[in-house]
Amino acid sequence: MRKVILLLLVVVHVVPYIACADELNSHERCSGIWAVGAKSPYTGPDFIPTKITSPNGLASINASSEGLSFVGKKAPIQLKVLINPPLTEVLWAPDSRGFTINVSDGGLVGTWEAHVYSIDQDGNPIPHNIRKLIFPITNKFLKCEPKEVANFGITAWLNGSKEILIVAEVPPHSSCRNMGAIIGFQISVKSGKIIERISEKELRKKWKSYLGCRFEAE
């Protein structure tokens, strides 16, 4: 009886960690979770803090045990984003005038959110509230009972740092009738307006080269 109890304890405590590790390792073999060009600021199986340098080499996003900070010409600026080393990715704009951070507050399922920053003339990171822009649409897109919120992440910078491509995903929960469905948005960072709403079919066809391993075809 004692051996049976010990075996049950091993199953309860060890198996979830193995499953989680397998899930993470499968994504490590991909290029970016949400965005093909995104990089993790925490590396290796021990999630060692590192830095993601801008394309022009003049700035970086530095990781530490306290979170992420923007390092440019001035003193480092701590970024107000969630700390989750296994599931955090940074994507710089090609012209180095902006960056995004995709992060989950839990596991790969979510909840995922994206933080968007542009860099002003003084070299300071300026945050943009993307959630407020897309949630009125995604709230109608989700068919979930009880009510849930969409996962969303940045998958690409477009036209330098002028626009971004966002993918919103219905949480892959059984409580959602359209679980896992996605829609996209092409957004002007400067005006804070939606340029185009993109269907799942068009996302997977026209924008496939930007989508990370989260959206690999089954």
| pLDDT tens digits in sequence order for the chain, 218 residues long | 443 333 333 333 333 333 333 344 444 455 799 999 999 999 999 999 999 999 999 999 999 999 999 999 889 999 999 999 999 999 999 999 999 999 999 898 889 999 999 999 999 999 999 999 999 999 999 999 999 999 999 999 999 999 999 999 999 999 999 999 999 999 999 999 999 999 999 999 999 999 999 998 64
Q: What is the rounded CA–CA span in Å between residue 115 and residue 91?
A: 10
- Nearest Cα residue to 148 out of 125, 117, 181: 181
Per-residue pLDDT, 177: 94
The C-alpha angle with vertex 158 and arms to 96 and 109, in degrees rounded to 5, equals 95
Which 3 state secondary structure label does DSSP give 158?
strand
Query: What does pTM read for this prediction?
Result: 0.84
Report which residue type is found at 141.
F
